[in-house]
Amino acid sequence: MTSTQPFNIAIDGPVAAGKGTVSKLLAERLGFLYVDTGAMYRAVALLTLRHQVDPQQEAEVVALLNDVELEVRKPAPEEKDGRLITIILINQSTGEREDISWSIRTEEVSRIVPLVAQHPQVRQILVGWQQQIAAQQQVVMEGRDITYRVLPAANLKIFLTASIEERARRRWEQILAKGEDVELEKVKEDLIKRDELDSNRATDPLKKVPDAWEVDTTNLDIDEVVALIEERVVELSQAS
């Protein structure tokens, strides 16, 4: 695809709808950069845990971000360990770089993410970082507010979803694969609570914008979803 402006694909949707895997595979097929914005909020949540900062205190959370940067990139050959994306935490004062790609994937971090993501100033900072990335290269960017807040002029907007039962099963299997023991019903309850927090927060709530293409992945496998979206991208690129 050749264009003076990078071709951007924005994908929103609830937790465990398949956004990460679909976006990663789609980006690989198209030669785009995959950007998991949720991982960036997870990084913020991890910082609050490490520094023992109350995630509900906006000013304190923002202060943590003043001395760090996040590098988002494709996994290097030596990082092919199942991760979808590599997240590097950079301390601006010391220059120290730390790969936090797996440190941010714990259930403890997951529970804190909605608390830090609700803060307008935190979102403003991260949205700025995300827009800089998309302005420089072609991306498949996924999260909760990409289609209307981060990339409102994206070439293709998608709302990826699935039934709560299917999403709970997927998340449960992910947790078990990491060696953590949890009941399926508890995972479902946590997802329902997360949906409520994401949909009802005052700043940038999860929602489907009118011009977004809704893709229900409940009865589709990953390859079918990716192929469906790739076909739409080809159609758009040929029409432009």
Tens digit of pLDDT for each residue in 125-169? 999 999 999 999 999 999 999 999 999 999 999 999 999 999 999
Predicted confidence (pLDDT) per residue in 22-36, tens digit: 999 999 999 999 999
- The pLDDT tens digits of the residues spanning 159-210 come to 999 999 999 999 999 899 988 889 999 999 999 999 998 999 888 899 999 9
Q: pLDDT (tens digit, 9 = 90+) per residue, 89-114?
A: 999 999 999 999 999 999 899 999 99
User: 135 with 7: CB under 8 angstroms?
Assistant: no
Locate all alpha helices (DSSP H) within 9-119, ordered by sequence. 19-30, 37-50, 58-65, 107-117
Fill in the DSSP letter of residue 176.
Answer: H
* Closest residue by Cα to residue 10 from 153, 182, 148, 142: 142
Q: Which CATH class is domain 8-228?
A: alpha beta
